[in-house]
Structures are given as C-alpha cells and as structure tokens.
A and B are shown apart, each in its own frame.
Chain A
C-alpha cells in the first residue's frame, strides 16, 4: 500500500495535464505574438516566421515531454498496483462460485438485508427494479416498527415504545426465558435515577412490583442506591449506574436480538456476517485452490471444504462434533451416538466397531466399558 501511496503522490504532483496545458498556452502566445508582429510590420514577417518555427518546435516538444511524464507516472502507479495485488489474478479463475445460477435467492438475501438494515427506500427501489422477489410480505412493516423503537431509544432516550412492545410480546418472551421487559424497565429506572432521583422512586413504586417474584435481588440493589444519593462514590451499587451509554447499547442489542428471534431471524444481518467471513476466508481458500491445482489433486469430499478456516470468535454459532475415531463431522445420515459410558462417536465408526451386528459386545474406544450397538443412543449436538 505504501508503494501505491507514493506513486499516487507523484502522479498528482507531476504527472497530470496541468503542465501540458501551460505549455500549450505558451505555444498559443507564440502564435499570437507572431501574428501581431506581422500585422504591425509586414516587412518583418520572414524573420518572425523563421523564429516562430524554431520556438514552436521547442514549445511543442515540451508538451510532448509533459505527456511522457504522465505516461511514466501512470505506468509506475500501475506497476505498484500490480505488485500489491499480485495474488489477485487467481480469483477470477477459481471456482468458488456456486451462486451464478441462484440469482433469485441472492436477490432475496439482498432485499431482506436492506430491509433489516433499515434501508427501506433503497429496498423499495430494488423491489420495483428487480422484482418480483420472494420476501415475506410483513417483513418491511416489522422492521419499520423495530427501527422506530430503536430510534426512540437512541435519539430521544425514550423507552416507552420498547417497553410497550415487550409487554405485548411478554408470553413469547417469557417462553424464550428472556428478561427483556425487566431489562428495559431497569434501564428506565437507571436513567431516571441519574437525571431525577425522585421520579425514579415513583417509577419503581409503580412498575417494579410485577417483577418482584423473579428479580427481587436486582430490585433490592437498585432501591438501595437511594441510600447513597448524597455520596454516590461510596455506593456499592455505583457500577450499575457508572456507564449509562453502555447500558443503552446493551439493551438496544438485546432488544434487536429478541425482536429478530421472534421473527425467526438471526440477530445480525446474515449477508453481512457471510460477506465478512468470506473476505476473511478468501486468502486461505485461494491458497488451497492453487496448491491443489499445482498438485493436480481434488478435494476428497465435495461436501466439505479442503482446509480449516480460522474465523474470529463469535463467528461460530453451532457446536461442532468431529468423530474422534473417523475424524468426520457428523451429519444426518451419520449422526453422533452416545455409548452407555457417555463417550460419543459417529454412527459409522460405531458400526465399524460392531462388525458382527447389533448384539455383539463392543468396547468403547476411550474407556474400558463394554456395551453393544443397541445400547448406543443418538444424540443431538
């Protein structure tokens, strides 16, 4: 990148048309002056023209030099690009593109991404221009509601819409084991407490009784903060009130996650996660592809990538089970099986161990315990 930067600086400083224009202007002046001189005194015309011929020749060759300099500058800049991106030429020939034939699905993914990111007007353009696209009909309305609520939280520090929503959905949230409603009310209390403690007291009296059964401890802590109103630095509860900005962000994040989950969607845009993971994975995949091309081998399993790809933490969503015997990942047709001793191996490995049939005793590969195929039980990771 440094090389590119350097060549770029050179380009704008030296290799651009402004110099050529100056030198063209100079030639223009030569012509004009010659014309005037001849008009003024036609008898000098011979000498003027001879001089002009010489001056023009020099002047124009200067313009030519200016052009040469641009040419050199552009070439050097181009070479800096080549050098920085030299690995890239391979990606147009690799075959990581199962997607060309999937245009409707990609369009759907994009439309849903635009909607969930709150880009409603772009989404409208897109649905008109590229439609019809199979997007759930209610989706836009749902996310409009979500952004209204988030916007109220972010710009006006207003939680009422969010709390109303959480109350409306309390049965579903309850079922999911979500404490969102309490989290929202708690933040409301914290916010009031920081600004106007007397209103926080009134708020707590009005709202907290409903949460007593499940959140008594939290409520006690919040209420004890009143005892330290005069000397908050001594309060053992100061940390609850210490970073309201973070509390707002955390609550907004929980709200978004719950909202999306109730719609059956992941909390972050899948398109964003996948494109980012892709950019991180690409160098490894390209390296693999070029190694395999060199060695003229192919992947042993088309279903699985040939190399492990390291992604940042937070990009693993599922637990992974790799059979310790066969080193295969388990699938629907080869599920993980638990032996009575609690060790888990893939079904195919188990069947290999129990060559003789389901009643043959087999020893667990990891402990001395013996059992048989029909004592093993499928598990779900």
Chain B
C-alpha cells in the first residue's frame, strides 16, 4: 500500500450557480479565486516531504473550468515545483460544457492536462433544465468536439439517470450519443435526493417520485448492458471505461486505499492509517493559509477494523473486488473462513464470485453494494 504511487487532488470549490440536486459545499464568491490560486501552492509546501511523488493529478470541483489558463498554469507549475510527477501521470481536469471553448481546452492540453471530464449529465434539454444545469445538449456536443479538436484522447463524461420526466428511451438515447462520441470513460449516477437540496423540495411540493426499486434496477442493468455491449468495462458501480487502461486511475486510488493528498477547501487526504480533511469554507481555508497554518478541520486515525470495513465496502463496489491474500495480510481477516456462511450464501445467490485470488461482486451484487457492505 505504502509504496504505491499516491494521487493528488485539487479541489476548486467555486461555482457560478448551484445545481438543483447538489448538496456539496460550493462558493460563488468568484473574486476569491485569485487568492485561492495563490494559496494552493502554499498549502503544497506543508506536504512536500510526506508526499514526495504522484502519478495522478485530479483538478475537480466545484467548477475548475472557472479558472483561467494562467491560474491553472500557476497551480501545475507549483505542483511540479513541490513534488515529483511521474512521466506517464494521468492529469485530469473537470470541465463544464459551457466553459469548454476549443481555445481554452487547447491551452489546457498544452499545460500537460491529458484527461478531461465533462459534466454533461444528459443529452436531453428538458432534463438539463430540470436539474438546474446552465448548459444545453448542443453545447455539450460542442464541448466534446472542441476537446477532441484540442487533442484530448481521454475524455470522461458524467451522466445522471432516474430523473423525474426521464424515460428509459431517452436515457438509452443519451447513452448511445455518448458511445457514438467514443467517450473513453463514463460515470452514470442514479439520482439521489439530499434533503438540503432545492430539488428535494421540488419533488416534495410537486409530488414527484424517485425510481422504485424495480425501476432503479432496470436502469442499472440496462445501463450496464448497453455499455458493455458497446465494449465498455463496468468496473465500478457507476463507472465504465472503454478499455482497462482507460479506467480513472485517480479514482481507483480512492477505492483501493492508496494514499492521496487533497488540497483546497474540503479536500480529504488519506495516508497510511490516517485521514484528514480541510476546512470546507473558502474564507476559513484562505485565512489559515494566510496565517501559515495547515487548513485542516478534522482528523481521524483508522483502527484496523475501520480500515477493514472500508476495504470491504469499497471492494464490493468494484469489478475487481478484493484480493483475498492481500486483504488477509493488510487487515488480518481471512474472509473465506471468518465469513464463510454468508459468503457461501452470496456465492450461491450469484451476488459475489470467487476467482483464484479475488472475491468480487457480480453485476447483481454491485446493485446491492450498500447491503454487501454490511455483512
């Protein structure tokens, strides 16, 4: 675990406006972006000795594409200055379709960004409006075209399904469009409503309903079927890659207990048995940095049992599942012995499968990963 190369995450918490379904912290105080850009490198200095090198970098948000090319440049420069970055590193940036002009993308490419993740959500304008997105299906298509023209060969697209007003046909159409665009990577999330969000309020007042269990399963299986038929690998509950090498290497680190450093407001870091996270308000974050303080808000040291629980539930969300021998070495638990009756039952019910080294969820198992997590 320790000698695996770590991942670096930069959180850009700014948004022009909040999407109706989003419950995460974001700030619309865009005038702070400049100070934020200058603070990130100062935060790096705190960690340059404990995280010497990275092989993935992920600039996420929020809306990172609110940063100017110069600001992205400064951040990347600071990264190279403070840390060793592998030559073949995966360097991703999230981009909003509305911000994705060919010129902007070309310059990002020139800075060394080699993977773009576009928050498309849907190719259906009615749904985009319902979700409170600022872009249209047309601008999403244009963004993809621009990214290709800018030379990006690794393109990820995010989608949401299970939205009120959506039909299975319209969802299949969206998937087909993504496949036709040769997306290297797709993330397909089932809509869930957080109580704090305006969309939740709207569902309540308009008497809208979420998917039933059967419908949700239907969408989940259809999504998997359509994309695997098109040659994609369904490698995590919500994630699909055109080939194994096109999986999101950065996100895989989260699911494999690989160390990662998170910089910026609200970002989480994991190292050995420790996890810590930054203050989530931009102002508080900037104040800490200005005062030469680490902007940390919380810290936890994970017990072996907690690590084991995390490794188990994360493993049950991924196609590769759990490497049994490694699990035993790392967490002191021989799953096949300690959990034999339940694992036998899960195998009998085809929710998990046993290969030579691995215990991994089947498609039906991934659909109930929250429950698998509880055994």
Q: Do A and B bind each other?
A: no
